[in-house]
Amino acid sequence: MLAVAPASPVVVSLQRLQHGVDDETLEQAFGANSLGIIIVKDLQSKFLDLRQRVLASRASVLATLPSHELAELECEEATWLIGWSCGKEKVAKSGKADVYKGSFYINCAFHNDASLEGPRSDLVASYANHKAYTAPNLWPEEVAQLQGFKSECKELINLIIDVAELVAGNCDRYISKLYADYETGYLKSMIKQSTCTKARLLHYFPAQDGCGNNDDAEDDDWCGEHVDHSCLTGLTSAVFLDESRGITHALDGSPDPEAGLYIRNRNDEVVKVNIPHDCLAFQSGSALQEISKGKFRAVPHFVKGTSMPRIARNTLAVGS
């Protein structure tokens, strides 16, 4: 059983973000002694419906498509960082193939221009050897329970990036006070204008299920401990599903109090973070640490699974 240190992440309202968050709150969220995460409440009313549609009604359907249909959504030339990926990554501790989760990667260039499914042609040509960033999206055929999947994913991702821009704008203001040479609005404009931002729709398979099984499960069995490379990673709260009652049977919350997201704080203590279902969280990454010259810090984090039978977990992460 994990030894978990008591701590609570910083919580702010969307309205407060819009009007400006004070420096102390930003330091508590991302600074030297922080958990590296901020939770945003009072979101647009459509958020909950989109979260339900994508995470409870679509993600498990996608992850359980026949293997030949999932294979058509794989993109080896993009090192499986567009479309479907399962068993291609390695578990950090063991070095084994990560078969505990399936990922559906989405390029978010449509946030910059609704007509785009990847970077513009000139950028693609300039970075011909970087298909992981330049390959266009692969979407499943929208039949039966996947009707509306593409449009709903895009709408939810756009909402998350819109809020990320607000978080970034507050970070810009803070950093500009510290460094006279800091470009005004740098972080926010980078997130707003990017055509390489990635979203990752995640399906964590139940124990003994999915691409393989969890025989040697560890504390970070659902997602190994790591630090994000992005500036800010937007996270929805997870939807847990009881697949014994159907692959889209969503539960009101986690049936296992130990399963979920954990952060390793600055004192090397493990802290469990619960994101309310009607909120978004934004986690600091190594790029934000570099941009802020260490004033904001990235933090290691991982996801612990559950041994409870037939329990799956779906979530969405958007790295800006």
Name the maximum alpha-carbon separation found in the chain. Answer: 58
Place of tokens 């296992």: 256
Report the C-alpha gap between 24 and 28 in whole angstroms. Answer: 6
Position 144 scores a pLDDT of 85
Residue 155 burial (CB count, 10 A):
17
Write the burial class of residue 304 (CB in 10 Å: 0-12 exposed, 13-18 middle, 19+ buried).
Answer: buried
Residue 214 is predicted with a pLDDT of 46
Alpha helices in 2-90 (DSSP H): 14-19, 23-30, 46-51, 59-63, 67-71
Helices within 108-148 (DSSP H only): 121-126, 131-134
Q: In this predicted structure, what is the pLDDT of residue 53?
A: 96
Residue 14 phi, psi dihedral angles, 5° rounding: -60, -40
d(CA 69, CA 140): 8
- The terminus-to-terminus CA distance of the chain in angstroms comes to 33
Contact 301, 225 (CB under 8 A): yes
Tokens of 177: 């006070």
Domains defined for the chain, CATH in brackets: 10-319 (2.60.120.330)
SS3 83: strand
Q: Is 283 exposed, middle or buried (0-12, 13-18, 19+ CB in 10 A)?
A: buried
Environment class of 300 (CB within 10 Å of its CB; exposed 0-12, middle 13-18, buried 19+): middle
Could you tell me if 62 and 150 are in contact, meaning their C-beta atoms sit under 8 angstroms apart? Answer: no
Of residues 224, 286, 220, the one with CA closest to residue 92 = 224
Which pLDDT score is estimated for 266?
Answer: 81
User: Along the 320 residues of the chain, how does pLDDT read in single tens digits?
Assistant: 465 555 689 999 999 999 999 999 999 999 988 999 999 999 999 999 999 999 999 999 999 999 999 999 999 999 999 999 997 776 656 666 677 889 999 999 999 999 999 999 999 999 989 999 999 999 999 988 899 999 999 999 999 999 999 999 999 999 999 999 999 999 999 999 999 999 999 999 987 654 444 445 556 556 778 788 889 999 999 999 999 999 999 999 899 988 889 998 888 889 999 999 999 999 999 999 999 999 999 988 888 888 888 999 999 999 98
CB-based contact 229:197 (threshold 8 Å): no
Q: How many residues appear in the chain?
A: 320
- Structure confidence at residue 43 (pLDDT): 98
pTM confidence score: 0.92
Which among 277, 104, 132, 282 has a CA at the least distance from the CA of 202? 104
Report residue 302 as tokens.
Answer: 């991982």
